[in-house]
């Protein structure tokens, strides 16, 4: 069996979120950090491949370009259906990028119709009569109203999408979705006959997504948040199974690198410290003063790895972070810390760490790059939305890695993660 579903995600953590949903619905999934060179990597042992781009907020022409490169690779690898994944709050501006990328993919796939839905009821994102709700409030009344890059001030997705596409946008409303896949299909035929190119589809429950998934079987392109992923794998006969999430057994030392300053991560660091395990705190001011903090962290880790996991963290409370940012500038402080933690991660792997927890979205990006990882096989979920992954190190060994963006994970995440690995290895 080859690749069935080829996915193009407009950011990294969104890609993992999608991959995680597909695995839970029974597909074996590999997430690629970027588009592989043309013609390479087609022999991947996976039912779905998710290519993670950074195309959410770049100029539309760049987003289109990157998406088309991803599409070309996925098609040459044999993907039968393409899934363009964006944020569940439909993050975009009148200039794009959801509309322009969708149109470009439709043209390249030579198709006149696709659907669009960011709905993910499990995460509080529902669409009713074309209007997107975030929890209990309309999108335009949610925090997204004030987003610095993609402020969302209109909750009606039909008009939001119409403003960024040249083609007519329609709606498959909830009455139709509730009536089942057949009803959705016939509504789609009707819209298509009337020249509608993209239809927003309502969904207020997982059942709606499952019906929608069945109805879009055979469409060359679907566009959605990560929610639709729960309804697609069944079209190829996949059923939820732990086998889809199976990774090779873990080996080697264990460590946590945390550069996230979110509230959830602060709680996780406190919990880890309380457990009395070895931890090294990275102080940006000392890095700025020229101290070799990465070297010190690695020397500390080396002493304790045998009874790991060892934590290396720059995580601090908002007040402390503000003070540091006041002294160094937010950008400079962030960069110093990211560079240091990426070097620490590299050094840890050189010292035999083969299971690594990374906390922080930006931090994860820096670590993945420093380690030279190109692909992640998605494994079992530690906490909602955060799976263990297996990656091939450039030297050939397998690294187990989990990339936790800021606010994900329960308080015990840094130890729960390794407990799950132990349980998987024992199974
Ligand atoms: P999150 O997912 O929680 O947003 P990120 O890694 O994406 O985490 O972002 C956190 C940012 O804060 C990074 O740029 C990181 O380098 C920076 N940072 C981490 N620790 C500190 C600190 N103690 N002082 C200032 N900035 C920090």
What ligand 1 atom has the least distance to the C-alpha of 341?
16
Asked if residue 287 lies in contact with residue 337, where contact means CB atoms within 8 angstroms, the answer is yes
Q: Which of 113-117, 168-172, 353-357, 381-385 bottoms out in mean pLDDT, i.e. has the lowest? A: 381-385
Q: Is residue 214 domain-shared with residue 252, that is, in the same domain?
A: no
Which of 195, 218, 239 is where one domain is finished? 239
Which of 214, 239, 264 is where one domain is finished? 239
Q: Is residue 319 domain-shared with residue 233, that is, in the same domain?
A: no
What ligand 1 atom has the least distance to the C-alpha of 336?
16
Q: Is residue 279 domain-shared with residue 372, that is, in the same domain?
A: yes
Asked if residue 101 lies in contact with residue 63, where contact means CB atoms within 8 angstroms, the answer is yes
Asked if the model's pLDDT at residue 318 lies above 70, the reply is yes
Give the pLDDT band (50/70/90) at residue 427: confident
pTM of the predicted protein model = 0.92
Query: Does 208 sit in the ligand 1 pocket, CB within 6 Å?
Result: no
Q: Is residue 230 domain-shared with residue 346, that is, in the same domain?
A: no
Question: Considering all CA atoms of the chain, what is the largest pairwise distance in Å, rounded to the nearest integer?
Answer: 70
Q: Is residue 263 domain-shared with residue 201, that is, in the same domain?
A: no
Cis peptide before 374 (omega within 30 of 0): no
The neighbouring-strand residues paired with 169 are 198
Instruction: Compute the distance between CA of residue 73 and CA of residue 91 in angstroms, rounded to an integer.
Output: 25
Average pLDDT over residues 262-283: 96
Q: Which of 25-34, 105-114, 143-152, 221-230 bottoms out in mean pLDDT, i.e. has the lowest? A: 143-152
Asked if the model's pLDDT at residue 382 lies above 80, the reply is yes
In a mutational test of the pocket of ligand 1, which residue from 343, 363, 406, 413 has the highest number of ligand atoms less than 8 Å from its CB?
363
Average pLDDT over residues 329-346: 96
How many whole angstroms from 386 Cα to the centroid of ligand 1?
Answer: 19
Upper half-sphere CA count for residue 413 (Cβ side, 13 Å): 33
How many whole angstroms from 257 Cα to the centroid of ligand 1?
Answer: 12
Asked if the model's pLDDT at residue 1 lies above 70, the reply is no
Ligand 1, atom 3, residue with closest C-alpha: 406
Q: Is residue 130 domain-shared with residue 60, that is, in the same domain?
A: yes
Question: What is the end-to-end Cα distance of the chain in Å, rounded?
Answer: 26
Q: Is residue 258 domain-shared with residue 179, that is, in the same domain?
A: no
Q: Is residue 189 domain-shared with residue 295, that is, in the same domain?
A: no
Q: Is residue 199 domain-shared with residue 283, that is, in the same domain?
A: no
Q: Is residue 117 domain-shared with residue 89, that is, in the same domain?
A: yes
Instruction: Compute the distance between CA of residue 83 and CA of residue 81 in angstroms, rounded to an integer.
Output: 7
Q: Is residue 133 domain-shared with residue 154, that is, in the same domain?
A: yes
pLDDT at position 6, please? 98
pLDDT at position 40, please? 84
How many whole angstroms from 263 Cα to the centroid of ligand 1?
Answer: 12
Asked if the model's pLDDT at residue 352 lies above 70, the reply is yes
Instruction: Compute the distance between CA of residue 413 and CA of residue 405 in angstroms, rounded to an integer.
Output: 12
Query: Does 283 sit in the ligand 1 pocket, CB within 6 Å?
Result: no
Average pLDDT over residues 279-299: 98
Which of 178, 213, 239 is where one domain is finished? 239
Q: Is residue 175 domain-shared with residue 80, that is, in the same domain?
A: yes
Edge to edge, the sheet with strand 137-138 lists 125-128, 131-134, 137-138
Average pLDDT over residues 27-32: 97
- Residue 393 is part of a domain; what is its CATH number? 3.40.980.20
Q: Which of 142-146, 184-188, 368-372 bottoms out in mean pLDDT, i.e. has the lowest? A: 142-146
Query: Does 11 sit in the ligand 1 pocket, CB within 6 Å?
Result: no
Phi, psi of 207 (to 5 degrees): -60, -40
pLDDT at position 212, please? 98
How many whole angstroms from 315 Cα to the centroid of ligand 1?
Answer: 7
Domain count, the chain: 2
pLDDT > 90 fraction of the chain, expressed in percent and rounded:
88
What ligand 1 atom has the least distance to the C-alpha of 366?
6
How many whole angstroms from 316 Cα to the centroid of ligand 1?
Answer: 9
Domain of residue 234 covers: 5-239
Asked if the model's pLDDT at residue 24 lies above 80, the reply is yes
Give the pLDDT band (50/70/90) at residue 147: confident
Query: Does 164 sit in the ligand 1 pocket, CB within 6 Å?
Result: no
Asked if the model's pLDDT at residue 57 lies above 80, the reply is yes
pLDDT at position 44, please? 85
Asked if residue 250 lies in contact with residue 355, where contact means CB atoms within 8 angstroms, the answer is yes
Ligand 1, atom 22, residue with closest C-alpha: 321
pLDDT > 70 fraction of the chain, expressed in percent and rounded:
100
215 backbone φψ class: left, alpha, beta (φ>0; ψ -120 to 50):
alpha
């Amino acid at each position: 069996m080859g690749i069935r579903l080829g996915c193009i995600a407009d950011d990294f953590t969104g890609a993992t979120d999608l991959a995680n949903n597909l695995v839970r619905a029974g597909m074996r999934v590999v997430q690629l950090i970027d588009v592989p060179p043309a013609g390479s990597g087609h022999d991947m042992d996976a039912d779905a491949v998710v290519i993670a781009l950074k195309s959410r907020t770049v100029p539309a022409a760049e987003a289109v370009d990157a998406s088309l490169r991803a599409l070309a690779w996925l098609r040459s690898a044999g993907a039968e259906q393409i899934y363009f994944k964006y944020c569940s709050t439909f993050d975009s501006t009148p200039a794009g990028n959801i509309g322009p990328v969708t149109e470009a993919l439709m043209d390249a796939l030579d198709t006149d119709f696709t659907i669009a839905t960011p709905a993910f009821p499990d995460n509080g994102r529902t669409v009713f009569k074309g209007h997107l709700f975030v929890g209990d409030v309309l999108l335009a009344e949610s925090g997204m109203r004030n987003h610095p890059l993609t402020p969302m001030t209109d909750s009606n997705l039909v008009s939001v999408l119409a403003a960024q596409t040249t083609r007519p946008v329609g709606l498959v409303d909830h009455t139709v979705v509730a009536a089942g896949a057949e009803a959705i299909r016939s509504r789609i035929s009707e819209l298509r006959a009337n020249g509608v190119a993209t239809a927003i589809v309502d969904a207020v429950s997982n059942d709606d997504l499952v019906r929608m998934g069945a109805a879009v079987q055979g469409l060359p392109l679907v566009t959605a948040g990560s929610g639709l992923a729960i309804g697609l794998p069944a079209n190829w006969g996949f059923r939820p199974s732990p086998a889809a999430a199976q990774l090779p057994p873990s080996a080697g030392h264990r460590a946590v690198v945390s550069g996230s300053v979110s509230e959830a991560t602060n709680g996780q660091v406190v919990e880890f410290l309380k457990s009395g395990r070895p931890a090294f705190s990275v102080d940006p001011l000392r890095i700025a003063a020229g101290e070799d903090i990465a070297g010190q962290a690695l020397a500390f880790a080396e002493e304790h790895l045998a009874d790991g996991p060892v934590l290396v963290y720059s995580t601090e409370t908002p007040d402390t972070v503000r003070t540091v940012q006041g002294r160094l500038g937010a950008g400079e402080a962030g960069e110093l810390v990211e560079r240091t933690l990426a070097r620490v991660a590299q050094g840890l792997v050189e010292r035999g760490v083969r299971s690594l927890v990374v906390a922080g979205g930006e931090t994860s990006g820096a670590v993945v790059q420093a380690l030279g990882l190109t692909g992640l096989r998605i494994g079992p979920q530690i906490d909602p939305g955060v799976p263990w992954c297996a990656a091939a190190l450039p030297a050939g060994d397998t690294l187990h890695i989990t990339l936790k963006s800021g606010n994900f994970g329960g308080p015990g995440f840094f130890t729960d993660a390794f407990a799950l690995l132990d349980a998987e290895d024992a199974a």
